[in-house]
Amino acid sequence: MSIHLRSISIFTFALLLAMSCTIEGQEWQSKELRTEYHGIRLVRVADGLEHPWSVAFLPDGRKLVTERPGRLNVIENGNKTRVSGLPEIYARNQGGLMEVVIHPNYAENGWIYLTYSKPNNQGETATTLIRGRLDGNALVDVEEIFKQDRYSSPGRHYGSKLAWMNDGTLLMSIGDRGADPPRAQDLGDHAGTLLRLNDDGSVPADNPFVNNPDVLDEIYSYGHRNIQGLVVNPETDKIWVTEHGPRGGDLLHLVEPGNNYGWPIVTQGLDYRTQEEFPHAQARRMEGVTRHIYEFLPTLAPAGLAMVTSDRFPRWKGDLLAGGLRSERIRRLVVREYQGQYEVFHDE
């Protein structure tokens, strides 16, 4: 299927599902699925993977697949080959080896970007970004180009989604890390933010807070709980994200530079234990906090977001596909804008 490079994750969720090789307890090689407008076919690509997290497509048709326990694989003709040369990865709970993307100019420079949970010697971790190049079955020229400013525990809410903007800058999400949600409102902390970096990890000169001594320069937006879906519209450069709420409150946001998206002082979700209002929440909406575009009901548990750009799916073109973890579904979102207001329709 022909898919725009910047939206190459369009069927990552479906591909990872295919790699798991079972549906409803039955092994399968291919499965036909019907949707409102298009039929699709899932074909088993590879098996034997443990918690596959992300897929990147190389120009020659091979696929790079991360396994959360800390393995990077090359998939070719159904066969998987382990890639050596990765750094020490702390793979526990939600942490491990996570995102993989390739540079927009991969054919010229060969850069592959990976996010993972980096340990210190005190049992804590930090969301970290590296890049390297493939040399046979080894990752070489490995560089650590970004690490969040604070190690912490427990092993939750790493974010770690990556997406390229049209100007060649790289977006990277970092979750609130779970234990201390108000970190997402602290502009001196990378937790709970969406970052914007140059391809070498340096700070773009036009980032929204770059001249503010009280704010970390990498921050592009903040007040995020845990962004697990991230895509950039290749025509408009608009940034769409899906992120986890607590119990309920999974949201779709249109991200603007410098904006506050509210977590945890504004949330649509409830406390896990009590099923009452989240302890830090002050309101469901608030002046100065950018309101979500769409709330997923029932809960989605976001896992990847993509935009359909292929002519192979004309009735879906321009729509968003939002993957779900616990929900085990892909939801198609039809977003319509009128005079600056957005309306969203969905299809399972």
Residue listed under structure tokens 């892909």: 330
Query: Order of strands, edge to edge, in the sheet holding 162-164?
Result: 162-164, 170-174, 193-197, 219-222
DSSP assigned state of 106: H
Preceding omega of 298 cis (within 30 degrees of 0)? yes
Name 332's Cβ contacts closer than 8 Å, sequence gap at least 6. 35, 36, 316, 319, 320, 321, 322, 346, 347, 348
Please give the Cα distance from 161 to 130 (Å, whole number): 13
Q: How many CB atoms lie within 10 A of CB 259?
A: 18
Q: How far apart are CA 254 and CA 271, in angstroms?
A: 25
Q: Are 266 and 281 in contact (CB under 8 A)?
A: yes
Annotated catalytic residue 224: no
Q: For residue 315, what are its two tokens?
A: 């009735």
**What distance in Å separates the CA atoms of residue 205 and residue 307, rounded to the nearest whole number?**
28
CA distance 246 to 164: 28
Bridge partners, residue 52, by sequence: 67
Q: Are 347 and 330 in contact (CB under 8 A)?
A: no
Q: Is 7 helix (H, G, I), strand (E, B) or coil?
A: helix
| Catalytic member of 103, 157, 190, 253 | 157
Q: Strands 125-135, 138-147: parallel, antiparallel or unpaired by DSSP?
A: antiparallel
DSSP state at residue 159: -
CB atoms within 10 A of CB 148: 25
- The three-state secondary structure class of 13 is helix
**Residues with a known catalytic role:** 157
